[in-house]
Structure 1
Amino acid sequence: MNEGQAARPSGVAEARPDRTRLAGIALMCGTLAFFACLDASAKALARAGIDPLLTTFMRYAVSVALISLFLNPVTTPAVVHSRRLGLQVVRSLLLFGSTALNFLALRHLQLAETLSIQFAAPLTVALLAGPLLGEWSSRKRLTAIGVGFLGVLVIVRPGVGEVHPAVLLSLGNMLCYALYIIMTRKLAAYDSTATTMFYSGLAGLALMAPLLPWIWTTPAAWWAWSLLIGVGLLGTMGHWLLILAHARAPASVLAPFLYTQLLWSLLLGFFVFGDVPNRFTVLGAAIIVGSGLYLLAQDAIGRRGQPAA
């Protein structure tokens, strides 16, 4: 065996982690493409006269049905046992609130506009992690968070020009999603991932079911039925790909690719709805993304044990 042949197994072994990380990144990008298509589907349904609350119901009805095929009390009895059932219910309601507010906002706002505001959720998590989780931020991190919220103000422009009231729905979506992330982190110390997934859509589904007679609209076109079922499939598949991505690459590697969803939203908004974001949305999104990337860089430096710059 020559030196080249002897070195080959080592090179192959070293290449495997790189390929695994690349696979994780590809899965993450696929996840965000699914989520962007989910928002575009919800917006198309709203334009077709379908109540966004009905779209929200279908989002969870399809998701719960699919998840129950694999996680249910019959095949996995332990999945229903939660050590913090109250937190599970609150987390599920926050997820429902985030989805419903987002779908209601999309009826009036552009895809890129709602998503840019939602990107402030990680900043809100970093701000609230101190009082709620005991994870206090440094002065530099707080400054970055403040800059990120300035980006939100650039998009919303309170008191400057005409702002659609639906922006408030998008801000509510962002806050609900940030609190949902915090509840998910708290529950990780008590319940398994399977248990948390099992409860994710149940509270929202239970809350929406009694409202069906008042929000039901029978779609006249086959494509509307397809999109109603599709929002559930896209959401479920997106979360499944997200789990697969995190199993193949660290969160610090995947996190920067979250912002590819903005690119998908811009493309779908333009080609499907003819939306062109205004300069305030573009500038505000750039500020929020830059602030978020700075926080990610600080986290990476902290994990390496180096002083944060």
Structure 2
Amino acid sequence: MTDPAENRRGALLMMGSMAAFTLNDTCLKAVTATLPLAQTLVLRGLIASALLALLAWRRGALTVTLSRRDKGLVALRSLAEVGAAWFFLTALTQMPLANVTALLQTLPLTVTLAAALVFGEPVGWRRWTAIAVGFVGMLLIVKPGTEGFSLYSLYALVAVVFVTIRDLAARKLSREVPSLAVTLVASLAVTVFFGATAAAQGWAPMTRGELSLILASGLLISGAYLLSVMVMRVGEIAVVAPFRYTGLVWALLLGWLAFDEWPVPSTLAGAGLIAATGMFTLWRSARVRRRR
């Protein structure tokens, strides 16, 4: 049985990770109002990759020899990370922070769905029901066919598809592959892609305030990655994983404080459905794994 103290530590690490990710998104949304997205991401990527490389080196995560299968999975995961970054952050520049964050929280539902359809993992009627209700919540946010519909909502949903591919690829990696090394490769892939994009688009001059936001973003995303690696090693997943939805609280608060954004009631209802069904899916999946 897992030590309750370990569960509390895992919950705190998960909440810290979600806070860091959402603060990073806030910095990026603020700075991309005046700077090109590609330029911002290549600078953030250089900072984050340097910090991740140092940490991976200190932990001996750079000396592992990968099999051909694992190399392919790492490459697939990195490509999916590039796609997720492009679509998610493009949507973030055009949509309220809470809306984009809420759509990304459908991830436990899409991962469960994809694992059932692609890998044939068994999913009972309870989780199928949760997935269906969660997608109703997604429709409340996207509002297809109405005046409130935004094309960038589809960008956010495409980002969810890429993140789902990324996470499924990570699940199939061998256990001996260090998480930090995988994260570093993905960070480098994003940096190289956006570096090429920034070179083609040209470089814009930056103010001290913009540089400060980019530096903060690089530090925050590095801390978020580190905390997300640590949280997978502490506590019971059924207890710890639901705390990922504290990111929604941060998104609501920061969107209101930084950008004067507040979701309409239907969006809040959709986010609530997504959070509730996502937490149930995480809990149910963990319970099924324990039984097996």
Task: Name the TM-score, length of structure 1 as normaliser.
Answer: 0.86
- Say if 1:201 and 1:287 are closer, same or farther in 2 by CA, change over 3 A: same
Distance (whole Å) between structure 1 residues aligned to residue 62 and residue 230 of structure 2: 24
Q: Which residue does 1:141 correspond to in 2?
A: 127
Alignment partner, residue 52 of structure 1: 37
**What is the RMSD computed on CA atoms of the aligned residues?**
2.4
**Corresponding residue number in structure 1 for 2:50:** 65
Quote the residue 2:161 is aligned against. 175
Task: Answer 1 or 2: higher relative contact order, Cα 8 Å, separation at least 6.
Answer: 2
Q: Match of 1:263?
A: 249
Structure 1 residues 100 and 230, CA gap change in structure 2 (3 angstroms)? farther
Contact 2:138/2:270 (8 A) holds in 1: yes
> 3-state SS of the aligned residue for 1:62?
helix
**Residue 226 of structure 2, aligned match among 237, 240, 247:** 240
| Paired position in structure 2 for 1:294 | 280
Query: Residue 162 and residue 29 in structure 1: after superposition, are their counterparts in 2 closer, same or farther (change >3 A)?
Result: closer
CA distance, structure 2, for counterparts of residue 294 and residue 25 of structure 1:
16
The residue that corresponds to 1:93 in the other structure is 79
Distance 2:3 2:270 in 1: 36
Which secondary structure state, in structure 2, belongs to the residue aligned with residue 71 of structure 1?
Answer: helix
Distance 1:45 1:235 in 2: 15
- Aligned residue-pair number: 290
**SS class of match (1:31):** helix
CA distance in 2, matches of 1:27, 1:271: 24
* Uncovered stretches (5+) of structure 1, i.e. residues with no partner: 1-13
Say if 2:38 and 2:197, in contact at 8 Å, map to a contact too: no
Task: Answer with 1 or 2: which has the greater Rg.
Answer: 1
Shift of 1:51: 1.3
Is the Cα–Cα contact under 8 Å of residues 31 and 241 in structure 1 kept in the other structure?
A: yes
Q: In 2, are the aligned partners of 1:71 and 1:79 still within 8 Å (CA)? A: no
- Cα deviation, 1:73-94, whole Å, max 9, x if unaligned, reads 9x76523645322221110111
Deviations 1:263-303 (A, max 9, x none): 00100000111001111210110111111122123224324
SS in 2 for 1:79: coil
> Following the alignment from structure 1 to structure 2, what is the Cα–Cα distance between the partners of residues 279 and 127?
27
Rounded Cα–Cα distance in structure 1 between residues aligned with 2:65 and 2:206: 39
1:9 corresponds in structure 2 to none
The Cα of 1:178 is off from its aligned counterpart by 1.1
Structure 2 equivalent of residue 32 of structure 1: 18
Q: TM-score, normalised by structure 2?
A: 0.90
For 1:19, the equivalent position in structure 2 comes to 5
Residues 79, 198 of structure 1: 8 Å contact kept: no
CA distance in structure 2 between the partners assigned to 1:227 and 1:69 by the alignment: 22
Q: Which residue type is aligned with residue 255 of structure 1?
A: A
- 1:75-224 map, 5 Å: 78-79=63-64, 81-83=66-68, 84-189=70-175, 191-224=177-210
Say whether the 8 Å CA contact 2:61–2:178 is kept in structure 1.
Answer: no
Deviates more, 1:213-222 or 1:140-149: 213-222
- Closer, same or farther in 2 for the Cα pair 1:77/1:232, shift >3 Å? closer
Instruction: Indicate how the Cα distance of structure 1 residues 288 and 191 shifts in structure 2: closer, same or farther if over 3 A, else same.
Output: same
SS of the residue corresponding to residue 95 of structure 2 reads coil
Q: 3-state DSSP class of the match of 1:130?
A: helix
Alpha-carbon distance change, 148 to 77 in structure 1, aligned in 2, over 3 angstroms: closer
Q: Which stretch of the first structure deviates more once superposed, 290-299 or 194-203? A: 194-203
Q: Would you say the 8 A contact 1:151–1:283 is kept in 2?
A: yes
Aligned residue for 2:147, secondary structure, equals coil
- Secondary structure, in 3 states, of the residue corresponding to 1:39? helix
